[in-house]
Copies of this chain bind each other. A is one copy, B any other.
Amino acid sequence: MPKVKPQRIAETRPAKAPPPPVPATRRGELRRAALIDAARDIFLEQGFARASIDEVVQRVGGSKASVYQYFGSKEGLFGEMIAHQCQQLIDSAEFPGRGGAPGADVEQVLLQFARRVVQLFLAPVRIAMHRAMIAEAERFPELAERFYEAGPKRGLALLSAYLRSQHEAGTLDCPKPEWSAIQFMNLVRTYPMFRALHGMPPMPEGEDLDEFLQHAVRLFLDGCRIKR
């Protein structure tokens, strides 16, 4: 029976966080940042439990002492890494819907939006983040919520603002923009994303993602278009 590769895993304090000391030195700051970067790679690649601090440390060349200096524990490192990713996500997520000319064709605006959203959510980093957060949601409830708010919820808010404005302008019939936003997102992003989360290609063999998006936008508009 061929032994393949004994991987080990471990952790301790389920949720201890003695005030994380901030580096007071330039070198310290760099180390801290580098650790977070490496932690992102390792944690998102292997998941929290399987990831090992030694591997993180090895990748940046530092030493474990720094990890415990700055983050206090494996969980602390994970938490800071996720928080950092969330912040980055918020900073980078300039959603459309406001950018376009106000009079632009709603169907085109929504289709563009759909493409953007899907592209964003299918990025490997996002998929990995989602995987990690779903896997550890029970162990890090506050992190999961933070992630949800930085990602999905923020997208919903921006979209529903757009829908509301269109409703008020009379372009759409959208009396409940929050729910409509949810439904639009569901129609557009769920299917390919779910497949990706399960490790499959976003669309089944031979089916076209963009066509799928057009279909979704059309269905959505059938329910919201001014025409009743």
Contact between B13 and A199, CB atoms less than 8 A apart: no
| Bound Cα distance A182, B189 (Å) | 11
The segment from A32-40, A88-96, A101-109, A212-220 that touches chain B is A212-220
* 0/1 interface trace, chain A 161-197, chain B, CB 8 Å (1 if under): 0000000000000001001001100110011001101
List the B residue with the shortest CB-CB distance to A1.
B18
| Bound Cα distance A31, B223 (Å) | 55
| Bound Cα distance A4, B147 (Å) | 26
State the interface size on chain A (CB cutoff 8 A): 53
Copies in the complex: 2
Contact between B6 and A9, CB atoms less than 8 A apart: no
| Bound Cα distance A199, B143 (Å) | 10
| Bound Cα distance A141, B190 (Å) | 20
Question: Does A115 belong to the interface (CB within 8 Å)?
Answer: no
- Residues of chain B lying within 8 A (CB to CB) of residue A212: 179
Contact between B16 and A12, CB atoms less than 8 A apart: no
The segment from A22-30, A57-65, A78-86, A128-136 that touches chain B is A128-136
* 0/1 interface trace, chain A 196-228, chain B, CB 8 Å (1 if under): 011110000000000010011011101100000
Question: Does A120 belong to the interface (CB within 8 Å)?
Answer: no
